[in-house]
Amino acid sequence: MLNIAIIGAGPGGLALALRLQQKGFNPTIYEGAPELKPLGVGVDIKIYGVKEITEMGLLEEFQSISVEAIDSIFYTRYGQMIYGEKCGKHMGYPHEQRFVHRGDLQMMFYRAVLDRLGPNSVQLGKRCTGFEQNETGVTIHFEGLDGTKSSARHDVLIGADGIKSAVRNQLVPSSSASHYSGVAMWRGVTVMPPFRNGGTILHIGDPIAQGSMIVYPITNNVDGKGNQLVNWVVEQNGQPKSLEDWNQRMDQGEIAHNFDECKLDFVNVGEIIRNAREVYLYPLIDRDPLDQWSFDRVTLIGDAAHAMYPRGGNGLCQALVDARVLAEKLAEIDNPAEAFKAYEGVRREFANRLVIANRGEGPEVVRRIVEERSGGKPFDNIEDIFPIAECEKIFLEYHRMAGMQRPDDAGPLGFRDEGFFNEDRAKKAAVENDIAGAKGSARA
Ligand X SMILES: Cc1cc2nc3c(=O)[nH]c(=O)nc-3n(C[C@H](O)[C@H](O)[C@H](O)COP(=O)(O)OP(=O)(O)OC[C@H]3O[C@@H](n4cnc5c(N)ncnc54)[C@H](O)[C@@H]3O)c2cc1C
| 392 contacts ligand X (rule: CB under 6 A) | no
By C-beta, is 166 or 442 nearer to ligand X? 166
Q: In Å, how far from its chain's centre is CA 102?
A: 9
Does residue 104 touch ligand X according to CB under 6 A? no
Q: DSSP character for 289?
A: P
Binds ligand X by CB under 6 A, chosen from 319, 321, 326, 327: 319
Report, in Å, the least distance between residue 92 CB and ligand X: 26
Rule CB under 6 A: say whether 59 interacts with ligand X.
no
Q: Does the protein bind ligand X through residue 156 (CB under 6 A)?
A: no
Question: Are the C-beta atoms of residues 128 and 442 closer than 8 Å to each other?
Answer: no
Closer residue to ligand X (CB): 255 or 354: 354
Going by DSSP bridges, is the β-strand pair 67-68/122-123 parallel, antiparallel, or unpaired? Answer: unpaired
Q: Which is nearer to ligand X, 153 or 393 (CB)?
A: 153
SS3 letters across 212-246: EEEEEEEECCCCCCCCEEEEEEEEEECCCCCCCCC
Cα 406 to the center of its chain, rounded Å: 19
The residue among 231 and 239 lying less far from ligand X, judged by its C-beta, is: 231
> Using the rule CB under 6 A, which residue among 4, 5, 6, 7 binds ligand X?
7
H/E segment holding residue 109: helix 102-117
**Minimum distance from residue 176 beta carbon to ligand X (Å):** 12
CB of 440 to ligand X, least distance (A): 30
Per CB under 6 A, contacts with ligand X among 327-386 are none
Q: Does 312 bind ligand X (CB under 6 A)?
A: no
Of residues 18, 19, 28, 31, which one binds ligand X by CB under 6 A?
Answer: 31
- Restricted to residues 110-139, the positions that interact with ligand X (CB under 6 A) are 127-128
Please work out, in degrees rounded to the nearest 5, the angle formed at the alpha carbon of residue 374 by the alpha carbons of 370 and 375.
115
DSSP state string for 169-190: HHHSGGGGS-EEEEEEEEEEEE
**Nearest distance in Å: CB 18, ligand X:** 13
Q: How far is the CB of 165 from ligand X (least distance, A)?
A: 6
- From the number of C-beta atoms within 10 Å of its C-beta (0-12, 13-18, 19+), residue 380 rates as exposed
Q: How far is the CB of 13 from ligand X (least distance, A)?
A: 5
- Distance of alpha carbon 89 from alpha carbon 119, whole angstroms: 37
Distances in Å between the Cα of 227 and the Cα atoms of 70, 219, 220 are 18, 9, 7
Helix (H) or strand (E) holding 285: strand 278-286
Residue 39 binds ligand X (CB under 6 A): yes
Rule CB under 6 A: say whether 9 interacts with ligand X. Answer: yes
Question: Which lies closer to ligand X via its Cβ, residue 344 or residue 392?
Answer: 344
d(CA 155, CA 4) in angstroms, rounded, equals 6
* Nearest residue to 409 via CA among 93, 180, 160: 93
Q: How far is the CB of 15 from ligand X (least distance, A)?
A: 8
Question: Which residue's Cβ lies closest to ligand X?
Answer: 10
Please report how many Cα atoms fall inside a 13 Å half-sphere around the Cα of residue 143, on the Cβ side: 6
| Shortest CB 29 distance to ligand X, Å | 9
Q: How many angstroms separate the CA atoms of 410 and 397, rounded?
A: 18
Q: CB of 67 within 8 A of CB of 219?
A: yes
Considering only residues 286 through 305, tell me which ones interact with ligand X, judged by CB under 6 A: 302-304
- CB-wise, 325 or 410, nearer to ligand X? 325
Of the pair 286, 432, the CB lying nearest ligand X is at: 286
Span interacting with ligand X, options 20-28, 36-44, 170-178, 188-196, rule CB under 6 A: 36-44
CA distance 274 to 348: 41
Task: Give the DSSP letter string of 152-166.
Answer: EEESEEEE---TT-H
Q: Does 41 bind ligand X (CB under 6 A)?
A: yes
Shorter beta-carbon distance to ligand X: residue 77 or 98: 98
Per rule CB under 6 A, is residue 217 in the interface with ligand X?
Answer: no
Residues 157-186 that bind ligand X (CB under 6 A): 160-163, 166
Binding of ligand X by 316 (CB under 6 A): yes
Contact 31, 126 (CB under 8 A): yes
> Applying CB under 6 A, does 218 fall inside the site for ligand X?
no
- Span near ligand X by CB under 6 A; candidates 25-33, 178-186, 207-215, 353-361: 25-33
**Positions in the binding site for ligand X (CB under 6 A):** 7-13, 30-33, 39-41, 43, 102, 127-128, 160-163, 166, 187, 246-247, 302-304, 310, 315-316, 319
